Structure 1
Amino acid sequence: MATSDVGSLAALRRLLTAGTPLRGLRLQDLDLAQVEPELLAIDDFTGVVVLGGRMSDRLHRHLGAHGALIFPADPGVPFDAWRAHLYRPRELYAGLREGGYAVTPDYRTYRWSLEPSTTQDVYASLLRAIHDHSIGDALDEFIAGRTVVGVMGGHDVDRGTAGYTTAARLGHALASAGSVVATGGGPGAMEAANLGALCTGDRSLDAALTSLAAVPSFQPDITAWARLALDVRDQIVRDEAETGSPRSLGIPTWFYGHEPPNVFAGRVAKYFSNALREDVLLHVCNGGIVVLPGAAGTVQEIFQLATSLYYADPARTLPALVLVGEEHWQHDLPVWDTLQALAAGRPMAHAIHLVNDVDTACRTIGCIANPQTSPSAAGGAPQA
């Protein structure tokens, strides 16, 4: 029996209107109360699996009696394990304005993940795994057919600094060139890149950068930091009438839940598992990755991607790995020499680049489809 996922009420309504048999369908995270009369009129749900969502007790009994297998949502946890779509920032920050960060779904989920009763409970582990798998499915659907360029960098880059402005300009340039900008979804350089991608005009970006500088960091007050960001986002969307596909993506984790997600990503794929999240973040960046100055987490991401480049199929076109900041990556954290040593004599040598500014980084990302024209193709020398 063929199976098919149905993740929207509109799609289910189309099937019901057409009289299509529902056998084998997976109904994921749907408010079935909206189509209860139509479903009660059907007496064959063979192979149908209902994953979360909402329904009346009557409909629950009817579906089960006619062949459906039902996995109900758990109202006792602060997240939806079966969700069919990526998060939007306002969903994670619901209730922030009235009650502060402590009442938001994002914080309550983080606290749940730390409770002793959940850390070694097999049912809680199952819920986390189901949630992360559901997010992965939604992310695959989101990136299909899109060019995604990653921007990595430090979480401790304060608003109002030159580093923050640089990351924002980079995100803006990449998104304006047609790429979806993917970051780790947190504060600092990640927030800045998502902000830059959200702004379709230079004027709105300049105004946003000025406004955000009033609360430079999420420490010590996440509520003030996030409230200001939501105000700035409202102004950007109001001024520019945000339309079309989202221009950026955030992929954060509750493993680092003390670092809140930024509100400027168009969509958010938040995971419980940091190991899975790190792998996914690098995997989705099919258009390359630009790495701004950072510390331990950024270095980890560099070498995780370097491992993939090192062992890649020689016939495969490799995404660019572009490090920005010669002083930082050659002297402060001497990563570049190790990358060159690993890449020597391998296709990876054409994929790694060291540049000194984001304009060069953008040009390098743009020309990587033809390694022979890449600025570092000849000898892999650092770029000025």
Structure 2
Amino acid sequence: MDPTPAQPQSHHASHDREIESLAEFDEVVSARGTLAHYRVQAVDLTARTDALMSVDTTGSVFLGCPMDPEAAARVRAAGALVFPPIPGLPFDPYRALVYSPDDLYTSLDEGYEATPDALAYAWFQQTKADGDVFASMLRAIHDDAVSDAVDELLAGARVVGVMGGHAMARGTDAYAGAARLGRELTRAGFTVATGGGPGAMEAANLGAYAAPYGDRMLDEALRVLAKAPSFTPSITDWARAAFEVRERWPQGGASVGIPTWFYGHEPPNAFAAHIAKYFANATREDGLLARSNAGVVFLPGAAGTVQEIFDNATPNYYESRGEPTPMVLVDRAHWTERLPAWPLLTSLAAGRPMERRVTLVDRIEEAPEALKRLGG
């Protein structure tokens, strides 16, 4: 088995008019001598005044690019549209890339409350309450930029979604099983995508992170994490334990987390290398499931996971995204007795193409093989 996980790739070929870094800016100016009709996104251009004063910027758009006032005036006069940076925000609404754990957890040494993640949630709570149309516009721009970034990141990847509850505690057999699931899926060449939060989501991202290492590493990491079983009462301690694992084993495998500030009490986990965090939960939910093109594994969860099962079942039922994608539900007792979603799902699927793409297994260890059997 190849222990090297599939790495999501940035995909600029289909976005050859987008510039998302200073290196790309310099390359375009040098090779083509024009910025006409380009989109330059969240690139600091304060040191590129000479270039901006000399090249054609007809029809170009600058999204949140700091630049010298003289240069900004010149490119506007030449026909460019300039969306200036917004001061005082704890996030960049025009960001060109998804987040990393370090992006969201900067200043964790001062406590979680000092991190960009916590500050963005506090801003969201304040602006959501006052109904400011400008703030809602900034949230929408941010979420659209994140969607664009994650689409580029996952282009060509075989993505398996792993859904499950946030209450699954570190140190439990269920958490360890979810981590082994993420590891096996990654080793099989899939890109694991989760809701990006704690519990089952973190465990699956941890497993993907552990994929390049020997099996002993995951056992040791689980012991480290068990010191802080839950993000309550202290998100700071919970996150610090994750960063301790990352520091001891810094070359982890890549996976994706897609969390939301809508559930601000649930912090993002630090094991997803790529974090597409949204303000709008509906956009996040649909985007996570739509991008899981190789299937979804549903671990035991509560209301959120039940919602995700039927959010995923709907396009499979109507075949609105083409061929139905595999759905694997884990834990027969949970999905037939405690929360009997399975009987309803199979009733919906009966006689339709999706019928052959849904299955129920007892144990997490059975999920990877079930996914392959269903065509994931």
| Short-chain TM bin | over 0.9
- Tell me what 1:301 maps to: 308
Contact 1:118 1:124 in 2 (8 A): no
Question: What number of residue pairs does the alignment pair up?
Answer: 360
The percentage of counterpart residues that share the same residue type is 50
Contact 1:154 1:292 in 2 (8 A): yes
- Tell me what 1:76 maps to: 88
| Structure 2: runs of 5 or more not aligned | 1-14
| Structure 1: runs of 5 or more not aligned | 371-384
Structure 1 Cα separation of the partners of residues 365 and 175 of structure 2? 15
- Tell me what 2:224 maps to: 211
Check if 1:230 corresponds to 2:254: no
Change (3 A) 1:40 1:96: same
Structure 1 Cα separation of the partners of residues 67 and 33 of structure 2? 21
Letter in 2 for 1:50: F
Check if 1:369 corresponds to 2:375: yes
Check if 1:15 corresponds to 2:28: yes
Instruction: Describe the superposition over 1:181-218 as per-residue Cα deviations: whole angstroms up to 9, x where unpaired.
Output: 00000000101110010012212111110100001000
Change (3 A) 1:29 1:300: same
Letter in 2 for 1:369: G
Structure 1 Cα separation of the partners of residues 34 and 47 of structure 2? 19
Structure 1 Cα separation of the partners of residues 228 and 128 of structure 2? 36
Contact 2:300 2:330 in 1 (8 A): yes
2:171 aligns with one of 160, 175, 182: 160
Displacement of 1:7 after TM fit?
1.6
Displacement of 1:341 after TM fit?
0.7
Letter in 1 for 2:334: H
Contact 1:29 1:52 in 2 (8 A): yes
Contact 2:325 2:357 in 1 (8 A): yes
Q: Secondary structure at the match of 1:294?
A: coil
Structure 2 Cα separation of the partners of residues 301 and 311 of structure 1? 16
Displacement of 1:59 after TM fit?
2.1
Displacement of 1:118 after TM fit?
6.0
Instruction: Describe the superposition over 1:281-303 as per-residue Cα deviations: whole angstroms up to 9, x where unpaired.
Output: 10000010001111010000001
- Whose relative contact order is higher, 1 or 2, with alpha carbons under 8 Å and at least 6 apart? 2
Alignment map for 1:80-159 (pairs within 5 Å)? 80-97=92-109, 99-116=110-127, 119-159=130-170
Q: Choose 155-164 or 10-19, whichever is displaced more.
A: 10-19
Structure 2 Cα separation of the partners of residues 118 and 41 of structure 1? 45
Instruction: Describe the superposition over 1:312-335 as per-residue Cα deviations: whole angstroms up to 9, x where unpaired.
Output: 159x43211000001111111111
Structure 1 Cα separation of the partners of residues 133 and 149 of structure 2? 24
Structure 1 Cα separation of the partners of residues 320 and 74 of structure 2? 52
Q: Choose 359-368 or 269-278, whichever is displaced more.
A: 359-368
Change (3 A) 1:208 1:115: same
Structure 1 Cα separation of the partners of residues 333 and 259 of structure 2? 28
Q: Secondary structure at the match of 2:18?
A: strand
Q: Secondary structure at the match of 1:27?
A: strand
Structure 2 Cα separation of the partners of residues 335 and 90 of structure 1? 37
Contact 1:324 1:357 in 2 (8 A): yes
Alignment map for 1:249-288 (pairs within 5 Å)? 249-288=256-295
Displacement of 1:116 after TM fit?
4.9
1:317 aligns with one of 309, 320, 323: 323
Contact 2:42 2:65 in 1 (8 A): yes
